[in-house]
Amino acid sequence: MTDDNPLLATGALARFDLIRPAHVAPAVDALIAQARAAVERVAASPEPARWDNVAAPIAAALDRLDRAWSAVRHLNAVVSTPELRDAYNGNLPKVTALYTDLGQDERLYAKYKAIAASPAFASLDAAQRRVVDNELRDFRLGGAELPAGQKKRFKEVQEELASLSAKFDDNVLDAENAWALHVDDASRLRGIPADVLAAARAEAQAEGRPGWKLTLRMPCYVPVMQYADDRDLRARMHHGYSTLASDLGDDPAHDNSAIIERILALRDEEARLLGYANFGEVSLVPKMAGSPAEVIAFVRDLAVRARPFAERDFAELAAFARDELGIGDPQAWDFPYASEKLRQKRYAFSEQEVKQYFPQERVLAGLFGLVQTLYGVSIAPSQAPVWHPDVRFYDIRSRDGAIVGQFYLDLHAREGKQSGAWMDDAVNRRRDGGRLQHPVAFLTCNFAPPAVVDGRPQPSLLTHRDIVTMFHEFGHGLHLLLTRVDVPGVSGIEGVEWDAVELPSQIMENWCWERDVLESMSAHVRTGEKLPRPLFERMVAAKNFQSGLGTLRQVEFALFDMLLHTEYLPGRRGPHADAQAVLAAVRREVAVVPRPDYDRFMHAFGHIFAGGYAAGYYSYKWAEVLSADAFSLFEEVGVLSPEAGARFRDEVLARGGSRPALESFVAFRGRPPQIDALLRHNGMTTSS
């Protein structure tokens, strides 16, 4: 161990300004050695098993490793370089092996079983009992009950899965960074917003080239698809995006096809080793849903409810494209363009018009003000070492001024940063003796950075869709940051059923449609004018524009994910020849919008191949039922009600995973969840 390794520093916050790829391996080796030594002391102790000599010391031993590895994992996602990627991928098997070994340690398993069987178990608090129950479940899922030979194979499977998931993400990022369309003819760019063109010109100039450089990063790709009048330009962009990291992509080295098949085969093998019929069953053990059949029935029921609205949406869109835009046979690259034109005609506004009222700084101020009103906390800028000049750091404080939590905010797209938006934990809340460790979150988005438009600097402007994304991720952050649980394993988002973890994020989206909230965060970029009421009313009228199509798209993802992990069993049996055939069958069943044969969306579907949503993507719709119904209480008592906010904080956010999510929901809402609010919020009722 070296004293100058920032990953081994004992401070509360990581020294992101000092961490280099060369620090990763020595730090990981040292921290794994410390953790293994501590675990060995616990496992070999002859003392009767108690909470304070088993669970507490193991949590303390793993905390430093978790925090250091979280920093490395995050850097690899937001400032990826070949050297950092090699360091991350080279050490990932070591970390995976440690946790697999812990999950299979029969000595530790026996100690947790002894704690659960002891008279003292009843005297533990609810959070501690929940941890013990979860640990017993996770030992079984980790292979602790397997014979020695199968344990070895289970460990090999886990290590290979971890490496494959990391490689999947690497391929998507590399393919996205490698793809570009250089345009020299300005006439081909008609319709594209000025700020997007300014950024594209800046990208080209940075490479010493004339013209404009179009990329597949969201701040460029989405507005090009929505506004570019050149149909061929849209088609080329769509083909590039839809074939990312696939067999039809530009570089075979980035093809995820074999990785997908191997991941699915390994997950199937894992399930069979554990005695389950398929990976879908394994995935649901720690979730709210009881079985794959229950999930599939839920998703298909939603498809039936949404289909009439989706068919109506598509018929209107196709007719508009034909009659108003002269596109007689609209294709996938035409639908975003036609949708935006139809929205503008029907509701007399565009996303580009709306975003002029939402400079990023005003939106942040409005978001922070809302959180202060609802949850009685304050948010203020603070100081911490960061990994990029754009990154900011904030404190969240209680009314008495005490720090509740802190978070990093990284909002802008850039090369070397994975696309999408997410929240991750940097530090989890825990109490170690008399010391309280407060939580720290990473909040990451990929919005357009400030630009120079018509020779004038322009701040980052957010579309309403961007605002919804920011609120969503901040809801995840609040779940981590406002916990009052001090017990590792069930603090913040830890231990929360995966199909309930979207509740705090999705409920935040509802305030993006409230007049007072939107007005508080609006100021026209040129005039400072607040969002005009007529424009707001048109936005609300358009809220459920094509919601049937949007719902079916999510249903398509969810059903594909669950069938992929239950019906398609690589190398054994099943009705489908390969994963792409599963997707084709799902689209035949539920989709309304036709997809081109080249569409390889799943090759970049990181949620299920590199994230935590394998056989769990349905969670977005499952939790949307919870969030819509939970928000209906705010609608009943006042959407800015501090009393309702305090109740949501106390019964949901503060509880973390210390009790089942359904209990937390019922404690807040006063009854089990109902689907009516979801259908109403999406405009899918008989009166719609």
Q: Establish how many alpha carbons lie within 13 A of residue 561's alpha carbon, considering only the half-sphere containing its beta carbon.
A: 26
Angle between helix 82-104 and 21-44 (nearest 10): 10
User: Is residue 245 a contact partner of residue 254, using CB atoms and an 8 Å limit?
Assistant: yes
pLDDT band at 686 (very low <50, low <70, confident <90, very high): low
Same domain, 396 and 295: no
Q: pLDDT of 44-99, one tens digit each?
A: 999 999 999 999 999 999 999 999 999 999 999 999 999 999 999 999 999 999 99
121 is a domain residue: yes
Catalytic residue among 473, 494, 502, 624: 473
- What is the average per-residue pLDDT within 434-453? 95
Domain-terminating residue out of 542, 571, 587? 542
Nearest to 536 by CA among 513, 557, 565: 513
Same domain, 496 and 374: yes
- What is the pLDDT at residue 687? 54
Q: What is the CATH number of the domain that holds 430?
A: 1.10.1370.40
The number of folded domains in the chain is: 4
Domain-terminating residue out of 197, 218, 253? 253
- What is the average per-residue pLDDT within 462-473? 98
483 is a domain residue: yes
Same domain, 456 and 496: yes
Q: pLDDT of 613-639, one tens digit each?
A: 999 999 999 999 999 999 999 999 999
Same domain, 600 and 518: no
Inform me whether the pLDDT recorded for 383 exceeds 60. yes
- What is the average per-residue pLDDT within 176-186? 97
CA separation, residue 296 to residues 193, 289, 476, 537 (Å):
41, 10, 26, 37
CB atoms within 10 A of CB 361: 12
The dihedral built from the CA positions of residue 504, 509, 513 and 517, taken in this order, carries a sign that is positive
Q: What is the CATH number of the domain that holds 602?
A: 1.10.1370.10
pLDDT band at 1 (very low <50, low <70, confident <90, very high): very low
Same domain, 535 and 471: yes
CA separation, residue 601 to residues 196, 243, 246, 610, 614 (Å):
24, 7, 9, 14, 15
Same domain, 219 and 284: no
- What is the pLDDT at residue 574? 62
Beta-carbon contacts of residue 343 (< 8 Å; ≥ 6 apart): 349, 350, 542, 545
Three-class DSSP labels, 241-274: HHCCCCCCCCCHHHCCHHHHHHHHHHHHHHHHHC
396 is a domain residue: yes
- How far out from the chain centre does Cα 401 lie? 31
Same domain, 413 and 463: yes
Domain of 27 in residue numbering reads as 6-145
145 is a catalytic site residue: no
Could you identify the residue written with the tokens 């300014």?
198
Same domain, 472 and 565: no
Three-class DSSP labels, 523-571: CCCCCCCCCCHHHHHHHHHCCCCCHHHHHHHHHHHHHHHHHHCCCCECC
Structure-block tokens of residue 90: 């080279």
Provide Rg for the chain, Cα atoms. Answer: 25
CA triplet 142, 571, 605: central angle to 5 degrees? 65
Same domain, 465 and 508: yes
Same domain, 433 and 312: no
Secondary structure letter of residue 582 according to DSSP? H
Same domain, 523 and 375: yes
354 is a domain residue: no
Same domain, 517 and 566: no
Q: pLDDT of 638-679, one tens digit each?
A: 999 999 999 999 999 999 999 999 999 999 999 999 888 888
122 is a domain residue: yes
Integer Cα distance of 680 and 10 in angstroms: 50
The dihedral built from the CA positions of residue 308, 309, 313 and 316, taken in this order, carries a sign that is positive
Share of residues in the chain with pLDDT > 90 (%)? 93
Q: pLDDT of 220-273, one tens digit each?
A: 999 999 999 999 999 999 999 999 999 999 999 999 999 999 999 999 999 999
In terms of Cβ atoms closer than 10 Å to its own Cβ (0-12, 13-18, 19+), residue 385 is middle
341 is a domain residue: no
338 is a domain residue: no
Domain-terminating residue out of 494, 527, 542? 542
Inform me whether the pLDDT recorded for 588 exceeds 60. yes
- How far out from the chain centre does Cα 545 lie? 24
- What is the average per-residue pLDDT within 402-412? 98
166 is a domain residue: no
User: Is residue 460 a contact partner of residue 448, using CB atoms and an 8 Å limit?
Assistant: yes
Inform me whether the pLDDT recorded for 688 exceeds 70. no
Inform me whether the pLDDT recorded for 3 exceeds 90. no
- What is the pLDDT at residue 573? 58
CB atoms within 10 A of CB 459: 14
- What is the average per-residue pLDDT within 566-591? 85
